[in-house]
Amino acid sequence: MRSPNTARPCGGSPTLLKAKGDLDGAAAEYRTAIRLRPNFSEAHNNLGNVLQQKGALGEAIAEYREAIRLEPDNAVAHYDLGIALEKRGDPQGALEQYRAAAQLRPDKAEFRASVQRLVLGLHP
């Protein structure tokens, strides 16, 4: 077994499993990566994406929040949290996260469009 300092969290394996539709396998791999490197925000965010795909919004939101706690300037984690909050029926929380993402990455049209859509009261 690799030590936590040499482990390759989120190598190709969880991504490949997710692509093949094995969400449970991908989630297990991301959890292993998190166990080896608990401060690896990308693994938390990726686990959140898998959990969101599985419909486990509460767990996904917790993973996105952890990714943001570990890396506050992670625009993608803010955006992904916004998507989960919107799906859960929290448009105000989603708007806050979309705004944070758009502020961190003003070059991302998708982030700005999500802000505009919610400000205008439009729904996906």
In a domain, 97, yes or no: yes
In a domain, 30, yes or no: yes
Domain hosting 81: range is 12-119
Rounded to two decimals, the pTM is 0.83
Distances (CA, A) of 112 to 41, 64, 92, 107, 117: 23, 19, 15, 9, 9
Three-class DSSP labels, 48-117:
HHHHHHHCCHHHHHHHHHHHHHHCCCCHHHHHHHHHHHHHHCCHHHHHHHHHHHHHHCCCCHHHHHHHHH
For every one of its 124 residues, what pLDDT tens digit does the chain have, with 9 covering 90 and above? 333 333 344 445 666 566 567 888 889 999 999 999 999 999 999 999 999 999 999 999 999 999 999 999 999 999 999 999 999 999 999 999 999 999 999 999 999 999 999 999 865 5
Q: Which CATH number covers residue 100?
A: 1.25.40.10
In a domain, 28, yes or no: yes
In a domain, 6, yes or no: no
Quote the pLDDT of residue 93: 96
In a domain, 4, yes or no: no
In a domain, 2, yes or no: no
In a domain, 1, yes or no: no
In a domain, 95, yes or no: yes
Q: How many structural domains comprise the chain?
A: 1
